[in-house]
Amino acid sequence: MKLLETRIQQDGQVLGADVLKVDSFLNHQIDPDLMAALGQAFYDSFKDAPITKILTVESSGIAPALATGMAFHLPVVFARKHKSLTLKDNLYTAEVYSFTKKTTNQISISTKFLSADDTVLIIDDFLANGQAVEGLIDIIGQAGATLAGVGIVIEKTFQKGRKLLDDRHIKVTSLARIQAFEDGQVVFAQD
């Protein structure tokens, strides 16, 4: 998606070998018009699937997921993160390891909001090692729901997340695909 790639080149900050900071438009300050365009792009990609629900994880996933829910006119559910859960009643839970923070969080969703009748589109801001998406897929399995696919704002193709999903034949739409960071510059993958 050209609009997003241009924005990443203008406003993204490359930190070290594998970190891209996009806190000026995606995950601390948010550009609502850009979010609406991302939501529309995910809609265009997945509109032929019989989706009933959009699923994401707090907090950075909420904005692109809500914009996608607006395009589909479908409910958005965000999983909550907890260091440890004291109450697991009526919750689906999964463990998510963060390579960046080197911590494990539990994510959880109330059983009220996901069932075997649902067909789910996962939306997240980043796909790197794929741990958050794997946790959401685990929860979708617990609910007996169907996974329609995964929509990612920014994918880092050089980390293992995309391969994990491709190996399972899951449809993935990434709006920007980053192949490498070279001399502090972003190199996008050529489709």
Q: CB 102 → a second copy: shortest distance, Å? A: 14
Q: Is 129 annotated as a binding-site member?
A: yes
Distances (CA, A) of 129 to 25, 117, 164, 171: 22, 29, 9, 17
Helix axis angle, 2-11 relative to 32-46, nearest 10°? 140
Other beta carbons within 10 angstroms of residue 39's beta carbon come to 23
**Closest to 128 in 3D by CA, of 161, 171, 150, 97:** 161
CA distance 25 to 90: 35
Query: Which of 2, 101, 102, 112 touches a second copy (CB under 8 A)?
Result: 112
> Is 58 or 95 the residue whose CB approaches a second copy more closely?
58
For residue 88, state whether it binds a second copy (rule: CB under 8 A): no
Q: Which residues on adjacent β-strands are paired with residue 97?
A: 104
Q: In the range 11-70, which residues lie near a second copy by CB under 8 A?
A: 23-25, 28-33, 35-36, 58-59, 62-63, 66-67, 69-70
CA distance 98 to 7: 26
Q: Is 130 annotated as a binding-site member?
A: yes
Query: Of how many residues is the chain composed?
Result: 191
Q: CB 154 → a second copy: shortest distance, Å? A: 18
> Is 20 or 66 the residue whose CB approaches a second copy more closely?
66
**Residue 100 neighbours by CB under 8 Å, 6+ apart:** 19
Q: Is 105 annotated as a binding-site member?
A: no
What does the longest C-alpha to C-alpha distance in the chain come to? 49
> Is 55 or 178 the residue whose CB approaches a second copy more closely?
55
Q: Is 144 annotated as a binding-site member?
A: no
Q: In the range 115-174, which residues lie near a second copy by CB under 8 A?
A: none
> Is 55 or 152 the residue whose CB approaches a second copy more closely?
55
Tokens 């300050």 belong to: 29
Query: Which of 3, 37, 49, 74 touches a second copy (CB under 8 A)?
Result: 74
Sequence ranges of the binding site for xanthine: 20, 27, 156
Chain contacts with a second copy (rule: CB under 8 A): 23-25, 28-33, 35-36, 58-59, 62-63, 66-67, 69-70, 72-78, 80, 109-110, 112-113
